Structure 1
Amino acid sequence: MKLRNTILVVCCLGLLVSCETNELAQYASNDRVKPYYEPAPFGMSYIDRGSVVIGPDDEIYQENTEAKRVSVEAFWMDETEITNNEYRQFVYWVRDSIARTMLSEQFPEFMRTEDERDNPLDYPHLNWEDPIEWDNPDFQEALQDLYLEADDRVFFQKSIDARKLIYNYQWVDYQQAAESRNKYNFETQSYNGTVTDIDGNVIPIANRKSFVFNETTPVYPDTLCWVRDFTYSYNDPMTEKYFWHVAFDDYPLVGVTWQQANAFCNWRTKIFNDYQRQSNSVDVFDYRLPTEVEWEYAARGGVERTLYPWGSYYIRNQMGCFIANFKPRRGNYVADSNHSTTTMPVGSYAPNNKRLYDMAGNVAEWTSTAFHESAYEYMSDFNPNVQYAARPDDPPVLKRKVIRGGSWKDVAYFLRNGTRSFEYQDSAKSYIGFRCVKTSFVDEFKLKK
């Protein structure tokens, strides 16, 4: 009898728990309207999560870096390097946004202060629907400060002062926010720590916004890099035409600093998320520079312990042709191709197994990683990266950022998957560009085709 009563009580409890579980499950499922499928970004390849051995693949070239196995989360990567055409869209957007802001002071229609239902906006924003009539005399007068002064013009041509094309954006310093000393104190309802701002000033934490920094970046590339990088060399035509002439639209962008590359990524995120909101879709992960390890993982294309992105130990194919745009012989920049002595249009050579072009040669590429010779020894084995936001007064050694892939002016050694190099974050070179990545939300089978 006791056993029967016990069984009855257990069954009732089980029924009660089951009912509660079902109610909770039903309540929790009310927020899930439909499964999320991640849209495939245009021009990007999906790099699935995985594990890889990073570092030198040849015992002869061990340098100061030891090989190390790590794991990397899934992400998207641009199939090609950012081109002149793509970056010019960024420059034009900055130009137009500055112009619209200036015009709104005299022509209110260039600034929206109300929504579609005539409700006041908390933060006014630019009206991009009305075109800018650059030939309108009234507009020209309002935009006078955007142009070069009369005594600063070349050949008496009235043109926009590229030095005034400055992009402003904000970013969150999660590294400082995550420090234990900077935790929020619920008893005092305040922060007790300090943060170091981008100018190197140590300030008390007032609120969460103390971890948000304002970045101001001139966006126009340094076109003089073609002359500056090579002494006793005639490269004036590249300085004059390379960035803006349509003949170079599909060539890789060069002459941008690490900060400018980050600014482009921020702008690209803004443009994409604005489009997502207009179509009632959710925001996605930010576009950004790849970490050094993400870059190497993608370059290897799923093939471990090979020297080059094409999965081989050789720099020629079976027909004896070179497989990338680089400097194959001393003083001979055309041995790899007679089409160009410098950069070539992106995608001129075959991609690797992940459909990524020019992961070796053409232009070297910025990564988000701070350079340190022995970084592999102390980096995590899960999504490894070394981050440091260098301040203006920091010594040059702290401003080094990792570049990968080698360029049109480099010998084959710099094209290797495991070769590490660096450049200073405020330097602009005629052989360094970049491509963007974006962390992926889901597995490949849940991607929206």
Structure 2
Amino acid sequence: MKILFTKSALILLAVAAVASSCSKPQQSQKTGITYNNKNNGGYERFRQTHPSPGPGLVPIEGGTFVMGGSADQDVTFDYNNVRRRVTVPSFYMDETEVSNQDWLDYLHWISITFPDDRELYYNALPDTLVWRKPLSYNDPYVDNYLRHPAFQDYPVVGVTWDQAQEYCSWRTDRTNENILRETGRMVAWKDVGGGGKKGAPVAATTSQPFNTDIYLNGQMKGAGVDGKKMMPNLSPNAQAGTGKGGKAVRPVRMEDGILKQGYRLPSEAEWEYAALALAGNTQFENIDDGKMYPWNGLGVRSAKSKTRGLILANFKRGSGDNAGVGGYLNDKADITAPVRAYAPNDFGLYNMAGNVNEWVQDTYRQTSFEEVEDFNPFRGNEYTNKRIDDASKGQYAKDKYGKPIKDPAKSNKKLKYSELLALQGQVPADPNAPANATANGVPGTTTPAGTVPAGPLSPKNSGKAYSPDFRGEKDSVNTALYGTTTLVNDHSKVYKGGSWNDMAYWLNPATRRFMDQDESSAEVGFRCAMTLVGAPEIYPVGKPHYSIKKAKAYKAK
């Protein structure tokens, strides 16, 4: 009993010590100022956490691997995926391909948000005519594949690279909006549009739909937007607000760690790394066995007793064999299969081989392996800046859909504020200007002397203008020759993975093909990814670590 009591006492003391340490207010390590205190300026600091993935995503712990290393042959003689060692940072990736139901959700949102915009809805429709073949009776798929409930869990196809980009942006905004409404930081769903009345229609409470960038810039707040559980505003400049007891409140900021990073297409390196899933073959930083496919072994059939002999992915086994023999179909599919069909790889990702090829973010170049970086390799950068609409308020310009307007970047470095505003047709406020003086329609502003003219800025002594488009850097192919000497230009995008209509060779994660970004196919779909911020280690349990000491508290004397 004595021993048990001692152990219990030690546990209670430990819990009390942790509780007391947590109750102590945090301080700045450099100034000693206490955080989260409205009486000393309201400096804020939030608990540092490892962000959770957005809906549908699974974490992929990054690391080094040999990109192109799983390819054992080059049947196309393209010499376009030469082995090179690269490092992929940790990130999140969709567990499955985007399905028809997912796309129908997107179309439904467009129809209720912009009911009169026929062009927007039409442009978001997949091209179901991709099923038509001159000598094949696939017309039933044209009418049924996207919308019939029998295919709702099948991967969406007929989607261009451009359409996939729009879907990623839409998904980001809907996810963040849902987080804010479900947690009370914005007006709850049940109160949107109808004040909570039964049967009230769900409609936007503002003149524009939610956009993450616009919201974070403080351009979406006030009556009809603010929820009942807004973040407390500790700034001494804050005015009494809508919080309990008239306390000052504010919208969510990026620093709060509540909103998710943007959904996007994975890079080619991320996709190939995630498909191989070598983490399942790794022990103490040693890879026990390589892979040719997302599963172990050189074959394409299951070796497990319950599924022995079954094909491990949905692909074309041979010419004229898309399904196998009636009575015992080899891969249980003739065209595509449900997005959760077949076993996932060691990262928990489904159909990283077969079913449908998948768009990735990269612009195709045969020589990418010679020119990309070895850390987080990617080819396709197009640098943009959000256009400033009102310099006096720091507001972004918006298009008719409530999205920020983005312009090509003018410089490769942070500009002076006066330079930035001058490039965007704005000027900073001049406190010495007469009250009626205006510039660019902004009262109380004048054009400062010595501002740079609008136009591209180049690094000092570079001798050439800065280009915000790095997709074709170091590439000698002239886009004017597209269609004459080459089919590759800056609109050529990579897709990977093999499909229901491809031979087994294309199931190898190292293989790569390309298609124009505004083209689509019945064999190409996509899945989304998301950048992981913070520490890269996702599975720290059972692994050695250096201890991190806490900073000593400062006491003013």
TM-score, normalised with respect to structure 1: 0.65
Aligned pairs (5 A) from 1:56-135: 56-61=69-74, 63-64=78-79, 65-99=81-115, 102=116
Alignment match, 2:364: 371
- Tell me whether 1:384 sits opposite 2:377 in the alignment: yes
CA distance in 2, matches of 1:412, 1:272: 36
Alignment match, 1:44: 57
> After superposition, what is the alpha-carbon deviation per residue over 1:145-197, rounded to whole angstroms, capped at 9, x for unaligned?
x6xxxxxxxxxxxxxx6x5516xxxxxxxxxxxxxxxxxxxxxxxxxxxxxxx
Pick from 279, 288, 312: which aligns with 2:264?
288
CA apart distance, 1:321: 2.1
Secondary structure class of the residue paired with 2:65? strand
CA distance in 2, matches of 1:434, 1:60: 25
CA distance in 2, matches of 1:311, 1:251: 26
Alignment match, 1:14: none
In structure 1, the gaps of 5 or more residues are 1-19, 103-145, 147-160, 167-217
Pick from 326, 331, 346: which aligns with 2:315?
326
CA distance in 1, matches of 2:29, 2:47: 19
CA distance in 1, matches of 2:376, 2:538: 22
- Amino acid in structure 2 at the alignment position of 1:220: L
Change (3 A) 1:440 1:21: closer
CA contact (8 A) 1:56 1:419 kept: no
CA contact (8 A) 1:276 1:283 kept: yes
- Amino acid in structure 2 at the alignment position of 1:42: P
CA contact (8 A) 1:402 1:422 kept: yes
CA distance in 1, matches of 2:108, 2:96: 21
State, as a whole percentage, how many aligned pairs show the same letter.
Answer: 35
- Tell me whether 1:403 sits opposite 2:495 in the alignment: yes
CA distance in 2, matches of 1:427, 1:73: 30
Alignment match, 1:269: 172
CA contact (8 A) 2:311 2:331 kept: no
CA apart distance, 1:283: 2.5
Secondary structure class of the residue paired with 1:273? helix
CA contact (8 A) 1:45 1:77 kept: yes
CA apart distance, 1:57: 2.6
CA apart distance, 1:23: 6.1
Secondary structure class of the residue paired with 1:423? strand
- Amino acid in structure 2 at the alignment position of 1:381: D
Aligned pairs (5 A) from 1:343-362: 343-362=336-355
CA apart distance, 1:271: 0.8
Aligned pairs (5 A) from 1:240-251: 240-251=143-154
CA distance in 1, matches of 2:381, 2:134: 32
CA distance in 1, matches of 2:504, 2:340: 19
CA contact (8 A) 2:50 2:535 kept: no
CA apart distance, 1:41: 2.2
CA distance in 2, matches of 1:317, 1:251: 22
- Amino acid in structure 2 at the alignment position of 1:33: F
CA distance in 2, matches of 1:254, 1:87: 10
Whose helix proportion is higher, 1 or 2? 1
CA distance in 2, matches of 1:434, 1:67: 25
- Amino acid in structure 1 at the alignment position of 2:56: G
CA apart distance, 1:312: 2.4
Whose strand proportion is higher, 1 or 2? 1
> After superposition, what is the alpha-carbon deviation per residue over 1:210-230, rounded to whole angstroms, capped at 9, x for unaligned?
xxxxxxxx1001011100xx3
Aligned pairs (5 A) from 1:162-201: 163-165=119-121
- Amino acid in structure 1 at the alignment position of 2:355: N
TM-score, normalised with respect to structure 2: 0.53
In structure 2, the gaps of 5 or more residues are 1-26, 37-42, 186-251, 253-257, 282-286, 383-470, 473-478, 540-557
CA RMSD of aligned residues (A): 2.6
CA contact (8 A) 1:49 1:73 kept: yes
CA contact (8 A) 2:129 2:142 kept: yes
Alignment match, 1:437: 529
CA distance in 2, matches of 1:22, 1:436: 39
Secondary structure class of the residue paired with 2:169? helix
CA contact (8 A) 2:310 2:331 kept: no
Q: How many residues of Structure 1 are paired with residues of Structure 2 in the alignment?
A: 314
- Amino acid in structure 2 at the alignment position of 1:276: I
CA distance in 2, matches of 1:330, 1:235: 18
CA apart distance, 1:443: 3.5
CA contact (8 A) 1:325 1:337 kept: no
Alignment match, 2:454: none
CA distance in 2, matches of 1:350, 1:266: 29
- Amino acid in structure 1 at the alignment position of 2:269: V
CA apart distance, 1:44: 1.4
> After superposition, what is the alpha-carbon deviation per residue over 1:346-367, rounded to whole angstroms, capped at 9, x for unaligned?
1110000000000000000000
Change (3 A) 1:87 1:414: same
